[in-house]
Amino acid sequence: MILIQVLLGGITRLTESGLSITEWKPITGMLPPLDEASWQLEFDKYRNTDQFKYVHAHFSLKEFKWIFFWEWFHRVWARTMGLVFLFGFIYFLIKKQFDKRMVTPMIILFILGGIQGAIGWIMVKSGLVPEMYYVGHVELTTHFIAALVLLVYTAWFGFRLLPAFEQKISDEKLRNGFLLFVLFFIVQLIYGGFMAGMKAAATAPTWPYIQGALIPDGWMEQSPGWMNLIYNPLTVQFIHRSIAYLLFALGLYLFFKSKHHNTHPIFGKLRLVFVGLLGTQVLLGIFALLTATSPDTFIYLGVAHQFVAMLLALNLTGMIYLLRIKTNG
């Protein structure tokens, strides 16, 4: 459900649907408008946003319903996840299926889910202010990273319950190598969020060059210089590409470095999946970039790129879980 929710978030962003619902109604918001008068009321609220005035002024009520659907579905799915978790937690608690070690992680998961919902509304509000046509890319990225934290934490907790993950691997150097990969991967995910939020791919939809150069002109034109790292689309794209090359090289190195652990029943499979996902992600990134100015194609490739990033995050979580630092005894 978390995977689907993050994908729905990606679709919501790429279809520019995120500002179609201008209010936060945790309970009554579960139901969409049920008659034409209600639809017109929601449309009128959206027409007061700067996104409608300067980007979607040509929208009819029918077109509004399309973007409304994705934002509504995204919110309803989030609420449904909360209910599934809450009722499941209560049911298994009554049935005494939890041991004491499970309760605290479950509570943490619930809190993380609530925080994610709050971040989502802060993100939407960032786009409902004057002179904002979309949600803020920093807020969008925060929402995305928080979703991945929830996903990875859930997976880590799940791995603890699986007998197949009990057999660990003692290889401190390899673990440190994968942790280094994760560090760069987190930065890459952040810049992926910036890319989506700023529509940075459309500023230079070419590969391998960025506006005809490996290092584009104007990549440090903003002052002070640090602002380019966050607010300059060309710089964001340059960094995102550069880290991708670094991750690909480091990933191949770790793949070959870990071949002597291929006999481990789970790690051996995760290792092969890792290199497959890594190569797929690079190709999807290139093709998504090249189609950035073709919205119909870009949506599919952009969502696929995001999906593989999540699978890679889960894959890395599994491998690092199996790798443990060698201890005496």
Beta bridge partners of 324: 170
Q: What is the pTM of this model?
A: 0.91
In whole angstroms, what is the distance from residue 247 CA to residue 328 CA? 33
* Residue 115: both structure tokens together: 């925080």
Contact 155, 317 (CB under 8 A): yes
pLDDT score of 329: 37
In whole angstroms, what is the distance from residue 215 CA to residue 204 CA? 12
pLDDT score of 199: 92
Listing DSSP states for 232-246 in one string gives -HHHHHHHHHHHHHH
pLDDT score of 325: 62
From first to last of the 329 residues of the chain, give the pLDDT tens digit.
Answer: 999 999 999 999 998 898 898 888 777 678 889 899 999 999 999 999 999 999 899 999 999 999 999 999 999 999 999 999 989 988 988 888 888 888 888 888 888 888 888 888 888 888 888 878 888 899 999 999 999 999 999 999 999 889 989 889 989 999 999 999 999 999 999 999 999 999 999 999 999 999 889 998 889 899 899 999 999 999 999 999 999 999 999 999 999 999 999 888 899 999 999 999 999 999 999 999 999 999 889 999 999 999 999 999 999 999 999 997 654 43
Distance of CA 125 to the CA centre of its chain: 19
pLDDT score of 28: 67
Residues 6+ apart with CB under 8 A from 70: 8, 11, 12, 15, 17, 20
